[in-house]
A and B are shown apart, each in its own frame.
Chain A
Amino acid sequence: MTAWLRRAWWLFFRLAISTAAIADDNPLTGAAEHVAPAPPTHVIADVPYPQMAAMMDMNDAGRLGRLIVDQLEWRDGDGARGGVWDAQGWYGNDYDKLWVKSEGDWPSGAGARGRAELLWDRIVTRWWSLQGGARYDFGGGPGKGWAALGVHGMAPYWVDVEATAYVGSAGSLAVRFKAENDLRFTQRLILQPELELNAYSRPDRARSQGAGLADFAAGLRLRYEIRRELAPYLGLAWMRRLGETAQLLRGQGGDPDQLQWLVGVRLWY
Chain B
Amino acid sequence: MRTLDARDAQPSRLCRRRFVQGIAGGTLLLGAGGLFGRAHAALPKVLSGSQFDLSIDELAVNYTGAARMATAVNGQLPAPLLRWREGDAVTLRVTNRLPVRSSIHWHGMIVPADMDGVPGLSFPGIAPGETFVYRFAINQHGTYWYHSHSRFQEQTGLYGPIVIEPRGGERHRCQRDYTVILSDWSDVNPEHIYATLKRQSDYFNYQQRTAGDLYADVARQGARRAGADWAMWARMRMDRTDLLDVSGATYTYLMNGSTPSGNWTAVFSRGERVRLRFINGSSMSFFDVRIPGLRMTVVAADGQDVEPVSVDEFRIGTAEVYDVIVEPADDRGYTIFAQAMDRSGFARGTLAPQLGMQAQVPRLDPPPRLSMADMGMATTGAAAMADMPDMPGMSHGGPATPAPQHDRAEHGPGVDMLVDRPQQRLDDPGVGLRDNGRRVLTYADLHTLGGAIDARDPQRNIELHLTGHMQRYMWSFNGRKFSESRPLLFRYGERLRIVLVNDTMMTHPIHLHGMWSEVEDADGDFQLRKHTVTVQPGQRLSYRVTADALGRWAYHCHLLYHMEAGMFREVVVAANADAAKP
- Please report A residues at the B interface, Cβ cutoff 8 Å: 14-15, 17-19, 21-22, 24-44, 46, 49, 52-53, 55-61, 64, 66, 94-95, 123-127, 129, 154, 156-158, 183-187, 228, 268
Residue in B closest to A28 when the chains form the complex, CB atoms:
B168
| Complex interface: chain A residues within 8 A of B200 (CB) | 228, 268
Are B112's CB and A22's CB within 8 A? no
- Please report B residues at the A interface, Cβ cutoff 8 Å: 100-101, 110-115, 118-125, 136-137, 139-141, 150-151, 166-173, 195, 198-200, 203, 206-212, 231, 234-237, 297, 299, 305, 307-310, 325, 327, 413-416, 439, 448-454, 469, 471-472, 474, 481-483, 514, 516, 546, 548-552, 563-566, 568, 581
Are B171's CB and A26's CB within 8 A? yes
Q: Which 8 A-B pairs have the closest CB atoms?
A: A31-B450, A18-B310, A32-B450, A60-B566, A56-B120, A36-B548, A35-B139, A34-B453
Are A126's CB and B413's CB within 8 A? yes
Q: Given known contacts A40-B114, A185-B210, is B565 in contact with A60 (CB within 8 Å)?
A: yes
Chain B interface mostly: loop
Query: When chains A and B are docked, how far (Å) is the Cα of A27 from the Cα of B171?
Result: 7
A126 to chain B, nearest CB (A): 6
Are B308's CB and A55's CB within 8 A? no
Are A57's CB and B101's CB within 8 A? yes
| Complex interface: chain A residues within 8 A of B234 (CB) | 156-158
- Choose one: B151, B210, B415, B483; the contact of A187 (CB below 8 Å): B210
Residue in A closest to B18 when the chains form the complex, CB atoms:
A187
Query: When chains A and B are docked, how far (Å) is the Cα of A37 from the Cα of B454?
Result: 15
Query: When chains A and B are docked, how far (Å) is the Cα of A66 from the Cα of B140?
Result: 48
Query: When chains A and B are docked, how far (Å) is the Cα of A31 from the Cα of B526?
Result: 14
Are A32's CB and B453's CB within 8 A? yes
Are B120's CB and A18's CB within 8 A? no
Q: Given known contacts A33-B139, A64-B199, is B119 in contact with A57 (CB within 8 Å)?
A: yes
Residue in B closest to A129 when the chains form the complex, CB atoms:
B413
Are A22's CB and B110's CB within 8 A? no
| Complex interface: chain A residues within 8 A of B308 (CB) | 18-19, 21-22
| Complex interface: chain A residues within 8 A of B112 (CB) | 37-41
Query: When chains A and B are docked, how far (Å) is the Cα of A215 from the Cα of B470?
Result: 35
Are A156's CB and B235's CB within 8 A? yes
- Choose one: A41, A58, A183; the contact of B151 (CB below 8 Å): A58
Are B483's CB and A53's CB within 8 A? yes
| Complex interface: chain A residues within 8 A of B118 (CB) | 56
Are A154's CB and B471's CB within 8 A? yes
- Choose one: A21, A29, A44, A57; the contact of B169 (CB below 8 Å): A29
Query: When chains A and B are docked, how far (Å) is the Cα of A52 from the Cα of B119?
Result: 9
Are A64's CB and B483's CB within 8 A? no
| Complex interface: chain B residues within 8 A of A187 (CB) | 206-208, 210
Known: A21-B297, A33-B140, A66-B199. 15 other contacts (CB 8 A): A22-B172, A28-B168, A31-B451, A35-B140, A36-B548, A36-B549, A42-B123, A43-B113, A57-B100, A123-B414, A156-B237, A158-B234, A184-B209, A187-B208, A228-B200
